A and B are shown apart, each in its own frame.
Chain A
């Protein structure tokens, strides 16, 4: 099983601040996928195939990485970006999620 380690677990950012969330895989994966989840709602696909933004995702978001190291970056934090973000690998079964990063607005 591929274990995904996300960091940080929680963080707070000020409006306009750059934010980076990392996801490290215990073995190499082909792509990384990211989901945004707000309290009481279903997860939303956010970034797929490492760097492609899902429909409707603002272009202040970006994704990058390869092999065992991936990241999600927000170029300029906005209040609506406060949420929990999860990474997911589906290169091999069992699919595995990271433990999540709770991002708050300062």
Chain B
């Protein structure tokens, strides 16, 4: 059974940092580009970042460039999102996903003082 299990979400103050993790199982993790997609409360889906098979290439939406870092560890079948200088507008459920096939259940990040 394929599983993507996110962790690391929570309540954080503006300007602080948070690191999300995603543990993958049930498929060959290194065969997939991976991504983080977020969804603010009651809003639509928004792509955040993607990473290539070996981590050699990364891509970000403009609003998180320089603040967020996507990374992966294929040996551990894990995906990460380091989020620095968090803003209130980063408040959302963050999904770990291959986009085309598999999605996690999401982890909620709330940025508030």
Contact = CB atoms under 8 A, between A and B. Distances in A.
Interface of A: 33, 35, 37, 42-45, 48, 86, 88, 90, 93-100
A100 B62 CA distance: 21
A34 B26 CA distance: 24
Interface in B61-113: 61-62, 95, 99-101, 103-106
Nearest to B63: A94
Nearest to A94: B61
A86 B44 contact: yes
A71 to B, nearest CB: 18
Q: Which one of A88, A94, A100 has the highest number of Cβ atoms from chain B below 10 Å of its Cβ?
A: A94
A96 B37 CA distance: 10
B99 A42 contact: no
Q: Which interface class (under 10, 10 to 19, 20 to 34, 35 or more) fits B? A: 10 to 19
Nearest to B60: A94
A48 B44 contact: no
B47 interface: yes
B95 A97 contact: no
Given A93-B50, A94-B61, A45 B45 contact: no
Nearest to A99: B44
B95 A94 contact: no
Q: Which one of B50, B60, B103 has the highest number of Cβ atoms from chain A below 10 Å of its Cβ?
A: B103
B99 A97 contact: no
B101 to A, nearest CB: 6
